[in-house]
Amino acid sequence: MVTHGDWFDGGFWSSAYRGITAVDQYLKLNITGLYPNQLSQQAIADIIYDSAFGNNSYNHIGVTVSSDTVANAVRNVSSHVPVIAYNAGIELAASSSVLGIETFVGQPEYEAGLKAGKIFLEKGCKSVLGLMHEPNQLNSKSRFKGFRTGFVMENSSNVFSELFVDLKQMSSVEAKIKNALDTLTPSVDCIIFQNTALTASVYSELQSRNKTGVIYFAGWDLSPLTVEMLEKGYQLFAIDQQEFVQVYIPPLLFLSKYYSYTKVTSPILFSGPAFVTPETIQLKKCQIDATLPNCDSFFTNRTLNVIFLTHGALGNDPFWTDAYNGANFAAKIFNLTLSTLSETDRKGYDLKKVDAVLESLIDEPGQKDAIVLSLPNTAEFSKSLAKAKAKNITIISYGAGYLQSQNFGSSIHVGANEREVGEKAGKNFILLGAKNTVVINHEYGNKDLEERINAFTLAVIEGGGKIKENKEGKLNFFEMSSSVLDYTAIQIQKLLEEDSSIDSIIYFNPSIAKAITMALKNVPRKNFIVGGVGLSKFVLEAIKSGSIAFTFDEQGFLQSYLALSLIRLQKQYGYELQNDLISTGPTLINLSNVEKFISDCRGDTSIINGEECLACPVDGCGSGVCMDDGSCVCNHGWSGETCSILLETDPIYVKYSTGPIVLMSIAAFGNLLCFVFIVFFYVKREAPPIKSSSPIFIVLMLIGSMLIFSTIFLEVGIPTVETCTLEMWFFAIGIGLLLGNLLAKTYRIHKIFNRTLSTTAVRGIKNTFVLAFSGCILIIEVIITGILTILDPPHKFLLDNGKGNRIFICLPRSGSALPAIIVLIIFNGSLMLFATYLAIRVRGVATAYNESKHILISVYNLNFAVIILLVLVFTSSSVIGVEPKFFLNSIVILITNLSIILNLFVPKIISVYQKTDQTKTQFSSSKSNEPNNLSGIVSSTVKGSSYNKSAADFTNIQAVWTKGSVVSNITAEWEIMNFSFIVLKERNFLWVQSQNSNSIAKSFMLDLNLTTGIRKKDGTPVLIIREKKSNSELKIRFNSQQEYDIFVDLLPPEVYHKSTAV
């Protein structure tokens, strides 16, 4: 570590050297502090050359770039030895390519001066004296340049006077200060200086003039006297560039470079400016001397307890494996105890699970010092992070979350700017000639990934290209373990086959890159462009061979390693970097530089202590290759963490074999039967048996049955996202149509025959009402299914079943939609119970009026089927097997669906073709509805013997019977046993209302379209009123020319006048 000052000067550089001592107690490196005996820029340059090429050559060099001479030396050695600049030379370091350095750690001096000038301006200073002790030093010039801008920017009459002083001749310094205060016009009211050695001289002069607290002064850096001046309020502030941090950080970066060939891409890591004021001086005092009283409240050197979480699936993406390895590496070095996800929890992408683990860890007993985590979507973590902030737990984000990091209180983010990643990738695709690009999103709900995609899309479109979208608007491949690559490749291959104009694909996960190349082997394309984000050994080899054009690296190991290293810096020493982002990418890797990254251990990294980067599994990788991050990539046909499980050549799914084809044929027959029924009922819609059953409901139920039959076809073959989604929707809508309309019809019959209704209420139960009833059920089914699709759409994955086989299964991505699934089950279960109740209630109603008995049988069948299907849904395919589960599921659907449509609709078809003379059929009735106080019916004469009927056909009644004058809706009026009955026409039904002397009204329905009704000899249907028990006939003459046979059905017993003689 080379400096232009004296490491042991007792001031600034001695404070900086404490940073070297502090970091090396953990890193255990051989760090040497070098400086010239006499301040000479050439002497500094000579030290740099000797460090790189001399007898004591060093692996890495840290240097203050204090002049052009030093900069030239750095430029000459940086190609031979990694160099990090610190403290001085930020102007040159801002363009690291000029010097060839890794990065710069220090303070942006112009910005520090600018802020200082503004503070003086706000304080009301008019004339400021600036003491310059290094007029040729770049940092010194920048500081005062910034100060001048900040001080005079709003008031040009302000005066800033610079005075050169030589610190080696302190007596002359004091004389110059005295003279300036005496002679400058306007009179000096504030002073600023850049070295703490000037504090004593300024204070002494002001004290002699009795101007302390009147003429304010401030400066860069701190010393014991500076602290005293701040405590007394004489010094306005001290600009702390945190020299401790400037020398603490470079060794951290050197170690990461040495072990894992990683380096930050941020050109500058800000150590300052941090402004120390009288209000914050206590913390700074403890930083200078941690042995002072009460400093324990600021710092600790104990083992730190850190919660470390990642949202990515370990083992499925080399990036997250890198991140875990970097975290463990840092924890071992810096004495950290990590609380993290279990091995099971690391194997899937489930943000709610990660948040639940985070909240439980925060609530655990014991001190939690910090949280280091990736945050793809802060909305999922808002509650737990708020709890962390309330407990004063430090939060640092990495990997994902930069654009949201400030919103949840993260002190710093280590990673990449997602928009920069997407924009650079998009521009690279355009440069390579991409015209129609497929974007693969492997993590839905990851807001940072969406930012990448949006920036990529914008860059491509602005460059003249376009983005290819599938039916959902995007592609989503979730599980990225080696066992799912075949499935992913199939989906990509299908997409390429469907659209020959696709000429490029971008990935954001290196596992997907492998799937893309697998697909392209089956669908070869000339000049096809593959590129993306993520690094693995496979990707590097593919770039070298030309099958992948480029990739961007973000260095997961470095991200987690640095994030955890900064926890120790903050908790033990009280320092923080001032960046909001430490950038670790994106670093472009293409054919021009890929060789630099290909070796036994991520590029040209050295082997340390016999370990190659990070250790492979103890038992090796079996039939696979050990990656640099310690994970195993399995050869084709093998699986498991150590590639020791032999897979079947072909994955298990429902193939087009004899059994499935037979079941599909039966389902096809069922659909054909439904279609034939629909056509028949449309053609015969005016036939009385059909018309009385409302054909619209019959058709809707048949359509529902067709959709349910069709789910069987969707289960056969290699599944896709589309078939998964269609299967769910077909079943939901099918059940909604079938059960909803069945329930609505039964509900109408129940309302009529099981409660007393007024004429108005009875007449309100029309087809429109029943349609609305069933429509509401269908809409609720659609809404719940839509919520399921949005929250957690179904996908089919190719997964290991733990028995050496791979199986296709259809599953949601996570458990986020579980509440909606529970609501759907409860809703349909409630409908089934209600349907069963209604079917039982109306089972004894005359069959001519409704299909009550058939409905009851159908409802029982549905109950049986739903119970079995629910058991099958929640039974894993790995337990009973994919094909056995398909057979059970299909057989239940076929038996249930066929029995329902045959039971409900075949009797109606038969009744249409029954002969007229066979119409006197039996009507069903439960015993509870039979009158128990009536032994017969006596003849009665119609009140008023003269009734005229203008139309004989009751199915088309237009005329109105009345006693003399026309009364609306009254069809006939007569008196039986002292009761007045009014028959009202309502569409295809007659509503008969009885009224007795006590005004007790009872209603029942008569069907004018009776299939088996009594007819005249000429075929004209007649009104039937029949009492079940006796079948006694009552003859009523409407006129002298026609005679009708009318049976009286009296409902229920209460309609009879019990005192009437029989």
Best CA proximity match to 217, nearest among 17, 97, 230: 230
Predicted pLDDT at 819: 78
Q: Which range has the top average pLDDT, 340-349, 685-694, 907-916?
A: 685-694
Tell whether 946 and 1011 lie within a shared domain: yes
In a 3-state reduction of DSSP, which class is residue 339? strand
Token pair belonging to 893? 């659907």
226 vs 236: CA distance, rounded Å? 10
Minimum mean pLDDT among 450-454, 877-881, 1012-1016: which range?
1012-1016
For residue 628, being part of any structural domain is answered with: no
442 vs 742: CA distance, rounded Å? 43
961 has pLDDT over 60: no
Predicted pLDDT at 937: 26
Q: Find out whether the peptide bond into 617 is cis, omega within 30 degrees of 0.
A: no
255 has pLDDT over 60: yes
242 has pLDDT over 80: yes
* pLDDT grade for 1004, boundaries at 50, 70 and 90: very low
For residue 273, being part of any structural domain is answered with: no
Of residues 494 and 247, more confidently modeled: 247
Predicted pLDDT at 288: 80
835 has pLDDT over 70: yes
Number of domains comprising the chain: 6
Best CA proximity match to 945, nearest among 1023, 1022, 1037, 1024: 1037
* pLDDT grade for 946, boundaries at 50, 70 and 90: very low
Predicted pLDDT at 536: 84
Tell whether 807 and 756 lie within a shared domain: yes
Can you tell me the mean pLDDT for 183-207? 93
125 has pLDDT over 90: yes
pLDDT digits over 507-534, tens only? 988 888 988 998 898 888 889 999 999 8
Token pair belonging to 984? 């009202």
807 vs 137: CA distance, rounded Å? 69
pLDDT digits over 127-142, tens only? 999 999 988 887 788 8
Tell whether 103 and 3 lie within a shared domain: yes
Predicted pLDDT at 313: 62
In a 3-state reduction of DSSP, which class is residue 949? coil
931 vs 607: CA distance, rounded Å? 100
DSSP type of residue 406: G
Tell whether 500 and 512 lie within a shared domain: yes
In a 3-state reduction of DSSP, which class is residue 809? strand
Tell whether 544 and 559 lie within a shared domain: no
Tell whether 194 and 307 lie within a shared domain: no
The residue type found at 173 is V
259 vs 251: CA distance, rounded Å? 12
Minimum mean pLDDT among 678-682, 693-697, 970-974: which range?
970-974
Token pair belonging to 808? 């296709």
CATH number (domain holding residue 752): 1.20.1070.10
Can you tell me the mean pLDDT for 270-287? 89
For residue 259, being part of any structural domain is answered with: yes
Pick from 568, 591, 614: which residue ends a domain?
591
Predicted pLDDT at 762: 40
* pLDDT grade for 907, boundaries at 50, 70 and 90: confident
In angstroms, the Cα distances linking 604 to 29, 259, 261, 1003 are 20, 10, 7, 95
For residue 645, being part of any structural domain is answered with: no
Minimum mean pLDDT among 323-337, 416-430, 448-462, 991-1005: which range?
991-1005
* pLDDT grade for 485, boundaries at 50, 70 and 90: confident
Tell whether 893 and 997 lie within a shared domain: no
Best CA proximity match to 426, nearest among 457, 398, 449: 457
- Looking only at the bridges linking them, the beta strands covering 190-193 and 216-220 are parallel
- Under a CB-based contact definition with an 8 Å cutoff, are residues 397 and 308 in contact? no
Residue 528's domain comprises: 418-552+586-591
* pLDDT grade for 210, boundaries at 50, 70 and 90: very high
543 vs 531: CA distance, rounded Å? 9
Of residues 1045 and 145, more confidently modeled: 145
694 vs 691: CA distance, rounded Å? 5
Q: Cα-Cα-Cα-Cα dihedral of 341, 345, 350, 355, to 10°?
A: -30
- Looking only at the bridges linking them, the beta strands covering 638-639 and 645-646 are antiparallel
Count Cα neighbours of 57 within 13 Å in the Cβ-side half-sphere.
10
Instruction: Give the per-residue SS3 of 534-547.
Output: CCCHHHHHHHHHCC
Predicted pLDDT at 992: 40
- Looking only at the bridges linking them, the beta strands covering 587-590 and 632-634 are unpaired
Predicted pLDDT at 367: 87
pLDDT digits over 304-348, tens only? 999 998 876 655 567 887 888 889 889 999 999 998 875 555 555
Predicted pLDDT at 93: 62
DSSP type of residue 215: B
In angstroms, the Cα distances linking 1017 to 784, 814, 1014, 1034, 1041 are 56, 70, 9, 18, 13
Tell whether 941 and 1036 lie within a shared domain: yes
Best CA proximity match to 318, nearest among 635, 628, 634: 628
The residue type found at 592 is S
Pick from 912, 935, 964: which residue ends a domain?
912
Can you tell me the mean pLDDT for 354-371? 87
- Under a CB-based contact definition with an 8 Å cutoff, are residues 942 and 1037 in contact? yes
Residue linked to tokens 């030309």? 546
Task: Tell me the backbone φ, ψ of residue 953, rounded to 5 degrees.
Answer: -80, 110
For residue 26, being part of any structural domain is answered with: yes
Tell whether 862 and 941 lie within a shared domain: no
For residue 618, being part of any structural domain is answered with: no
Predicted pLDDT at 385: 86
For residue 18, being part of any structural domain is answered with: yes
Computed over every residue of the chain, the mean pLDDT equals 75
Tell whether 202 and 322 lie within a shared domain: no
pLDDT digits over 753-768, tens only? 554 433 333 444 566 7
401 vs 379: CA distance, rounded Å? 11
- Looking only at the bridges linking them, the beta strands covering 190-193 and 127-132 are parallel
Can you tell me the mean pLDDT for 646-653? 59
Predicted pLDDT at 235: 94
CATH number (domain holding residue 44): 3.40.50.2300
Predicted pLDDT at 84: 94
Of residues 681 and 629, more confidently modeled: 681
Predicted pLDDT at 752: 62
pLDDT digits over 783-813, tens only? 988 888 887 777 655 555 555 555 666 766 5
If phi > 0 it is left, if psi is from -120 to 50 it is alpha, else beta; for residue 89 that is left
Can you tell me the mean pLDDT for 478-496? 68
Instruction: Give the per-residue SS3 of 600-654.
Output: CECCECCCECCECCCCCCCCCCCCEEECCCCCEEECCCEECCCCCEECCCCCECC
Pick from 912, 947, 981: which residue ends a domain?
912
Best CA proximity match to 788, nearest among 763, 756, 812: 812
Predicted pLDDT at 764: 41
Tell whether 899 and 935 lie within a shared domain: no
Token pair belonging to 949? 């009927």
203 vs 212: CA distance, rounded Å? 7
- Under a CB-based contact definition with an 8 Å cutoff, are residues 173 and 165 in contact? yes
Residue linked to tokens 């089914």? 781
β-pair partners for 588: 552
- Under a CB-based contact definition with an 8 Å cutoff, are residues 595 and 544 in contact? yes
80 has pLDDT over 50: yes
479 has pLDDT over 60: no
Can you tell me the mean pLDDT for 639-658? 68
506 vs 438: CA distance, rounded Å? 6
Can you tell me the mean pLDDT for 346-356? 70
Token pair belonging to 331? 């924890």
372 vs 489: CA distance, rounded Å? 34
Predicted pLDDT at 920: 36
822 has pLDDT over 70: yes
Kindly report whether the global pTM for this prediction surpasses the value 0.75.
no
For residue 646, being part of any structural domain is answered with: no
Can you tell me the mean pLDDT for 547-574? 93
Can you tell me the mean pLDDT for 244-255? 94
DSSP type of residue 193: E
Token pair belonging to 749? 């019959």
- Under a CB-based contact definition with an 8 Å cutoff, are residues 634 and 647 in contact? no
- Under a CB-based contact definition with an 8 Å cutoff, are residues 718 and 491 in contact? no
Tell whether 442 and 338 lie within a shared domain: no
997 has pLDDT over 60: no
Predicted pLDDT at 785: 85
599 has pLDDT over 60: no
Token pair belonging to 253? 């970066």
